[in-house]
Chains A and B, each alone.
Chain A
């Protein structure tokens, strides 16, 4: 009888010497388990365009923070001289002069922080509004979702540059980096909300959410500790591209003359001023346009890498 029992035990527990040691060694207990963010970083750092766009963006941010390091002339304090009107490049003035006789290079350097600030404020605004609308709607469903989604539809149905044109026309006496960011961000958030809502609807179905519910964890705690952290990746993925979109929107509004006031250094303003002389002096239009395009290009490139890295499906398309 006792002999029988020991024989049956042998069937279930393999003797230690039969398990190859290589297999045990392959399980690294002390290594941190991989997750989406670590995988994304591993994927991104292997791609040259991540490093190219990263270096460009760091350089642009440095110019935005410390313009005086890059340009000896400070266009905010040094008056422009009309005797230099539409002047050609000369020593110390690499890119020539604008119609008002200002140094083109110095204006570009000092205009960088405007674009970057507007971009950052807008994505902060669209992320906060988009996450609030998308998270509550997607998670609670029912009438909350219906109300928030319909509100989102209304804001989504007005192209955000057109909405910003109206807001900036009304706020014509209060033109600043803050008002223009508000005007753009107020109508740009529904796409963020839609992306997050769709992801939350998916994550909500997961077993670990059901388990938390069964354990009696409060709804709010489930949303903020389990659902939101696991569905934020697509929002992060579109953020960099939205930032580029916000920079373009500011430049477009300033180009139309309803953006920032003339006293604020902005590439859009400079392009607006230069357009009248495009036939005789195209350089003053080309340089700020180039600065704008390179900045937008850098953020779009980074956005591509981030999106590919965070979305395994996008990785397969490469």
Chain B
């Protein structure tokens, strides 16, 4: 196991340098003045430009700039946002809110997705299965901002069941609707994945053995079938974390949830390039860490994985 952890962490190092380099390269190695490019149509104050030039060490060669920037990341310095507040300080304030929203969404999508998927898989080809298929295909086709606006308009404006925007402090009851919207994106994928996994597992020999031993269905379905069908679902949740981050950006923006995603959303729509870059970097690093942790946990749960070279 120690060898597996060592190998997996070692693999993460080039990816860490690669991704940060790529983001930095895309912004600062482009021809022309990167600071002016980042502001688009707006012309920022010369003092702001000068300050940013200093902050990003633009007088140095590109590779030196990159390592100064990496050094900053290791010290926990992600730069200063457009409003002059250090990015780490904003993160300290907004991160707990996003975690709450993400956990809520993950709970909704996994519980609902696995239950519907299991039921569909056990009743392959029946009415419930076909309706679940149609509903999941429709959900996959709806972009998250469309779902968010429809939910906001129908449940917030028309029916008045929920508040259209989240109140200060982001109380849990206000987060339910944004979390449901965020969960809807991957819910359909989890349904389909669980379904196919359940159908596949149900046909395996050990399930037949369990039946022929005279075990009851109530024991076989949760213990033998479901537990063995969940491995691909867990992997999916890890790789899908990127979709969750993008979804959180849009959802938090639309429902005005004071989280990390909303900070990025506001920076994007106001065209505050440097802040966008800082927060995208933070999200990419978060994505790397989540995938690393899930891989390590996975190796712990399934010995076959840590033995593969």
Q: Please give the residue numbers on chain A whose beta carbons come within 8 Å of chain B beta carbons, in ascending order.
A: 150-151, 153-155, 157-159, 161-163, 165-167, 169-173, 244, 248, 251-252, 255-258, 271, 275, 278-279, 282, 285, 289, 292-294, 296-297, 300-301, 304, 314, 317-318
Contact = CB atoms under 8 A, between A and B. Distances in A.
B189 to A, nearest CB: 11
Given A166-B276, A257-B269, A297 B196 contact: no
A153 B239 CA distance: 12
Nearest to B141: A297
A123 to B, nearest CB: 17
B199 A169 contact: no
Given A292-B146, A293-B143, 13 more contacts: A154-B14, A155-B22, A157-B15, A166-B23, A170-B34, A170-B38, A271-B145, A275-B254, A278-B149, A285-B149, A293-B141, A296-B141, A317-B199
B132 to A, nearest CB: 13
B210 interface: no
Nearest to A162: B280
Contacts of B265: 256
A166 B26 contact: yes
B258 to A, nearest CB: 18
Q: Which secondary structure dominates chain B's binding surface?
A: helix
What are the 10 A-B residue pairs with the smallest beta carbon separation, nearest first?
A172-B40, A159-B242, A154-B18, A297-B141, A289-B146, A296-B141, A161-B246, A169-B273, A162-B280, A257-B269
B143 A296 contact: yes
Interface of B: 11, 14-15, 18-19, 22-23, 26-27, 30, 34, 37-41, 124-125, 137-138, 140-146, 149-150, 152-153, 157, 195-196, 199-200, 242-243, 245-246, 250, 254, 265, 268-269, 271, 273, 276-277, 280, 283-284, 287-288, 291
5 contacts: A169-B273, A255-B145, A271-B145, A271-B146, A275-B149
A71 B283 CA distance: 43
A166 B141 contact: no
